[in-house]
């Protein structure tokens, strides 16, 4: 069986696949990647199935060695990668030989990176997924962050060539798009205008569960307690502090704070990738328009995944 | 402000919230569960999950297969015909060691309420509770039915860790915590039952709509249950 050895690990290195859907009614959020398109592109570049597990890291990946020859790809942003000290490029696959040292990190202008390895990380699935749910110790490798000394099994690799995209994965720009509600009616019109007219800053209070934003306090005229209801990835809840909290991959499945709006699916990865200190604005769109964006975004991703080309060695 | 219920609200581009009311009420919760069961029994193309909560049902969907507005219209249609009377959920007999290491607030709560230990136990175990929802964390059971005399505000500062199986009180709500973790609720005991077990076909022991009666046991009986196969078996604890 092929393996990967973790010689050193960044502060937040976990096993993630596309997540663990189907258990929200059991209180289990899906976990999975903070930036799903980047994980999907990384897997495709090394010839893996879309649902294969890879390594997600925040800022810095770590140092890795492999028991057998394999292909790797790193995505998520612009990132420094070295194979035995020689620079490699992200967003394309590379061959690594046994004994060679792969060093990944740090990311520039992005927060979450993905290291896919041919064959995928073959830890045992829990409730149908290999994703790590850190807060509950579920899935991944012993339900925890990876650390130096860990050795993970790899699955059977396909014999795909080294690949790179022929189309760019263009970063979306402009305000972060949201659908109003479900509890927009807890806020006065002036506060809803404040929400879309003000600049917010991504604070350093962030993890796989949620991101806190700094900005003008958003006071709910009907109070900051609701009868707890369901949450989504991208729900923007506002506790009594008035500071919005965007719920992410490992969120609690229900919550008791009013949710002023929900970040659209296409923009959640962009918000996740914003470095702390970055400023942003929100703009409201209708649910129907948000679905149109999701469908177009998925088509663009499928185009990219369907047109990978063999890279010149 | 007056809303007309039920109403369907957008939650981004992959979920709808069907709100039946804005209060905690057994009849409202029964309607939520009835719609959830209807959507499970007769699935709508594109619906991925249904999440029953106290007074609303979250319906998640895949926009590549179904559009929210079409789904909302279909749910509206079904709302007209679902019956709000759900069959009574299963009744469970849940053993609890009151006080002890996990009963962090047991003595303080008894003193606060002017009750002896036995009176506190008798009061907490005197009623039938209803599981309103499973949420927040894997397997965490939110219960309704707490006697009014035991309603107690949450702690000002949450604790970093309470034990799995802890029996809690948060305002007018009661809980059985499934996993160890932080909480601002008050805790008066612990059940050895394992509420969440990913190795079990249905990972949650309890379901929304189930009914609970608590029964005081001693530490020796809890030790006998801890680690036994019974700990994880739903059918072993049916009343």
Specify if B84 maps to a domain.
Answer: no
What pLDDT is stored for residue A207 in this prediction?
A: 95
What pLDDT is stored for residue B107 in this prediction?
A: 96
Specify if B86 maps to a domain.
Answer: no
Q: What average pLDDT does the structure give for chain B?
A: 92
Among the listed residues A164, A169, A166, A116, the one whose alpha carbon sits nearest the alpha carbon of residue A297: A169
| pLDDT tens-digit map of A147-176 | 999 999 999 999 999 999 998 887 778 999
* Shared domain check, B225 and B176: yes
Chain A partners within 8 Å of B10 (Cβ) = 179-182, 262, 287
Specify if B34 maps to a domain.
Answer: yes
- Confidence class for position B86, pLDDT limits 50, 70, 90: low
- For domain A176-300, say whether CATH 3.30.470.20 is its number: no
**Chain A residues bordering chain B (beta-carbon distance below 8 Å):** 21-28, 126-127, 135-136, 138, 178-182, 185, 222, 226-230, 232, 234-235, 252-255, 259, 262-265, 287-288, 290-291, 293-295, 298
State the ipTM, two decimals: 0.96
Domain count, chain B: 2
Chain B partners within 8 Å of A180 (Cβ) = 10
What pLDDT is stored for residue B134 in this prediction?
A: 94
User: CA-to-CA distance for A178 and B13, rounded, in angstroms?
Assistant: 9
Specify if B202 maps to a domain.
Answer: yes
Q: Which residues of A42-67 are buried (b: 16+ CB within 10 A; e: fewer)?
A: bbbbbbbeeebbbbbbbbbbbbbbbe
* Shared domain check, B184 and B99: yes
* Shared domain check, B141 and B34: no
Q: Decide: B211 and B128 in contact? Cβ < 8 Å.
A: yes
Q: Is the pLDDT confidence value at B154 over 70?
A: yes
Q: Where are the domains of chain A?
A: 3-165, 176-300
Dihedrals phi, psi of A2, to nearest 5 degrees: -80, 150
Q: Is the pLDDT confidence value at B67 over 70?
A: yes
| pLDDT tens-digit map of B2-55 | 678 999 999 999 999 999 999 888 899 999 999 999 999 999 999 999 999 999
Chain A partners within 8 Å of B60 (Cβ) = 24, 232
For residue B60, the chain A residue with the least C-alpha distance is A232
Pairing label, strands A259-263, A176-180? antiparallel
For residue A263, the chain B residue with the least C-alpha distance is B12
Q: What's the DSSP call for residue B148? A: G
Counted residue by residue, chain A has a size of 313
What is the mean pLDDT of the segment spanning A133-158?
96
What pLDDT is stored for residue A82 in this prediction?
A: 98
For residue A186, the chain B residue with the least C-alpha distance is B1
Among the listed residues B225, B212, B217, the one whose alpha carbon sits nearest the alpha carbon of residue B91: B212
- Of B50, B79, B108, the last residue of a domain is B79
* Shared domain check, B20 and B107: no
- Confidence class for position B91, pLDDT limits 50, 70, 90: very high
Q: Which domain holds residue B59?
A: 7-79
From residue B149, give the alpha-carbon distance in Å to each of A96, B152, B156, B169, B171. Answer: 67, 8, 20, 12, 11
Among the listed residues B217, B134, B145, B147, the one whose alpha carbon sits nearest the alpha carbon of residue B176: B134
- Of B79, B111, B138, the last residue of a domain is B79
**Is the pTM value of this prediction over 0.90?**
yes
Please indicate whether, in this complex, the C-beta atoms of A265 and B9 are within 8 angstroms of each other. Answer: no
Please indicate whether, in this complex, the C-beta atoms of B179 and A254 are within 8 angstroms of each other. Answer: no
Q: Is the pLDDT confidence value at B1 over 60?
A: no
| pLDDT tens-digit map of B170-180 | 888 899 999 98
Q: CA of B119 to nearest chain A CA: how many angstroms apart? A: 30
Please indicate whether, in this complex, the C-beta atoms of B54 and A264 are within 8 angstroms of each other. Answer: no
Please indicate whether, in this complex, the C-beta atoms of B11 and A232 are within 8 angstroms of each other. Answer: yes
* Shared domain check, B208 and B99: yes
* Shared domain check, B130 and B192: yes
Residue B66: give its domain's CATH number: 3.30.1360.40
Chain A partners within 8 Å of B22 (Cβ) = 226-227
Please indicate whether, in this complex, the C-beta atoms of B137 and A252 are within 8 angstroms of each other. Answer: yes
* Shared domain check, B120 and B70: no
What pLDDT is stored for residue A212 in this prediction?
A: 95
What pLDDT is stored for residue A203 in this prediction?
A: 96
* Shared domain check, B140 and B164: yes
What pLDDT is stored for residue B159 in this prediction?
A: 85
* Shared domain check, B115 and B56: no
Q: Decide: B194 and B206 in contact? Cβ < 8 Å.
A: no
What pLDDT is stored for residue B2 in this prediction?
A: 65
What pLDDT is stored for residue A144 in this prediction?
A: 97
* Shared domain check, B28 and B98: no
Q: Which of B11, B13, B204 sits opposite A294 (nearest CB)?
A: B13
Touching check for B229 and chain A: CB below 8 Å?
no
Give the H/E segment covering residue B133: strand B129-134
* Shared domain check, B152 and B73: no
User: CA-to-CA distance for A212 and A235, rounded, in angstroms?
Assistant: 12
Q: What average pLDDT does the structure give for chain A?
A: 96
Counted residue by residue, chain B has a size of 239
| pLDDT tens-digit map of A77-127 | 999 999 999 999 999 999 999 999 999 989 999 999 999 999 999 999 999
Please indicate whether, in this complex, the C-beta atoms of A288 and B64 are within 8 angstroms of each other. Answer: no
Distance from the first to the final alpha carbon of chain B: 43
Please indicate whether, in this complex, the C-beta atoms of A252 and B135 are within 8 angstroms of each other. Answer: yes
Mutate to test the interface with B, among A138, A228, A240, A290 (most CBs of B within 10 A): A228
Specify if B85 maps to a domain.
Answer: no
User: CA-to-CA distance for A4 and B78, rounded, in angstroms?
Assistant: 52
Please indicate whether, in this complex, the C-beta atoms of A229 and B54 are within 8 angstroms of each other. Answer: yes
Q: Is the pLDDT confidence value at B189 over 60?
A: yes
| pLDDT tens-digit map of A36-85 | 999 999 999 999 999 999 999 999 999 999 999 999 999 999 999 999 99
User: CA-to-CA distance for A84 and A310, rounded, in angstroms?
Assistant: 23
- Of B19, B44, B79, the last residue of a domain is B79
Q: Is the pLDDT confidence value at B87 over 80?
A: no
Specify if B2 maps to a domain.
Answer: no
Contacts of B64 (CB under 8 A, 6+ apart): A294, A295, A298, B46
* Shared domain check, B99 and B74: no
User: CA-to-CA distance for B56 and B47, rounded, in angstroms?
Assistant: 16
Answer whether the bond into residue A182 is a cis peptide, omega within 30°. yes
User: CA-to-CA distance for B204 and A97, rounded, in angstroms?
Assistant: 45
């Amino acid at each position: 069986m092929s393996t990967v050895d973790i010689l050193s690990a960044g502060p937040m290195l976990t096993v993630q696949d596309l997540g663990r859907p189907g258990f929200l009614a059991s209180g289990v959020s899906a976990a999975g990647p903070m930036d799903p398109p980047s994980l999907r592109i990384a897997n495709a570049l090394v010839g893996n199935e879309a649902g294969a597990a890879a390594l997600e890291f925040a800022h810095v990946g770590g140092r890795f060695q492999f028991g057998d020859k394999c292909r790797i790809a790193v995505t998520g942003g612009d990132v420094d990668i070295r194979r035995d000290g020689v620079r490699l490029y992200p967003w394309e696959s590379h061959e690594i030989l046994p004994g060679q040292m792969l060093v990944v990190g740090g990311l520039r202008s992005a927060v979450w990176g993905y290291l896919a390895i041919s064959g995928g990380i073959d830890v045992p699935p829990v409730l149908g997924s290999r994703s790590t749910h850190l807060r509950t110790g579920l899935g991944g490798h012993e339900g925890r962050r990876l650390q130096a000394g860990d050795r993970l099994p790899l699955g059977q690799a396909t014999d795909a060539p080294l690949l790179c995209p022929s189309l760019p994965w263009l970063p979306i720009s402009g305000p972060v798009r949201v659908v109003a509600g479900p509890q927009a009616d807890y806020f006065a019109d002036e506060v809803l205008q404040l929400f879309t007219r003000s600049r917010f800053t991504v604070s350093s209070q962030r993890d796989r569960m949620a991101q806190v934003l700094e900005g003008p306090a958003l006071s709910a005229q009907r109070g900051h307690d609701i009868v707890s209801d369901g949450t989504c990835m991208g729900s923007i809840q506002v506790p009594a502090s008035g500071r919005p909290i965007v719920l992410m991959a490992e969120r609690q499945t229900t919550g008791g704070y009013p949710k002023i709006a929900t970040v659209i699916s296409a923009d959640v990865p962009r918000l996740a990738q914003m470095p702390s200190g970055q400023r942003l604005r929100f703009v409201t769109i209708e649910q129907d328009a948000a679905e149109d964006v999701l469908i177009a975004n998925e088509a663009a991703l499928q185009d990219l995944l369907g047109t990978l080309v063999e890279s010149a060695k | 402000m007056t809303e007309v219920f039920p109403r369907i609200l957008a939650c981004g581009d992959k979920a709808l919230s069907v709100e039946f009311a804005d209060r905690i009420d057994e009849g409202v919760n029964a309607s939520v569960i009835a719609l959830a069961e209807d959507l499970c029994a007769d699935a709508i193309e594109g619906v991925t999950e249904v999440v029953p909560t106290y007074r609303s049902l979250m319906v998640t969907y895949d926009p590549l297969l179904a559009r929210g507005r079409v789904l909302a219209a279909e749910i509206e249609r079904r709302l007209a015909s679902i019956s709000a009377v759900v069959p009574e959920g299963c009744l469970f007999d849940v053993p609890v060691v009151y006080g002890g290491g996990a009963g962090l607030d047991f003595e303080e709560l008894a003193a606060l309420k002017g009750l002896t230990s036995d009176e506190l136990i008798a009061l907490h175990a005197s009623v039938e509770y209803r599981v309103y929802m499973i949420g927040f964390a894997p397997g965490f059971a939110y219960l309704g039915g707490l006697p009014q005399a035991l309603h107690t505000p949450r702690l000002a500062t949450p604790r970093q860790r309470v034990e799995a199986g802890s029996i809690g009180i948060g305002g007018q709500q009661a809980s059985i915590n499934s996993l160890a973790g932080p909480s601002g609720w008050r805790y008066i005991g612990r059940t050895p039952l394992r509420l969440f077990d990913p190795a079990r076909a249905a990972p949650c022991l309890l379901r929304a709509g189930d009914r609970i009666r608590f029964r005081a046991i001693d530490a020796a009986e809890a030790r006998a249950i801890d680690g036994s196969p019974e700990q994880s078996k739903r059918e072993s604890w049916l009343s």
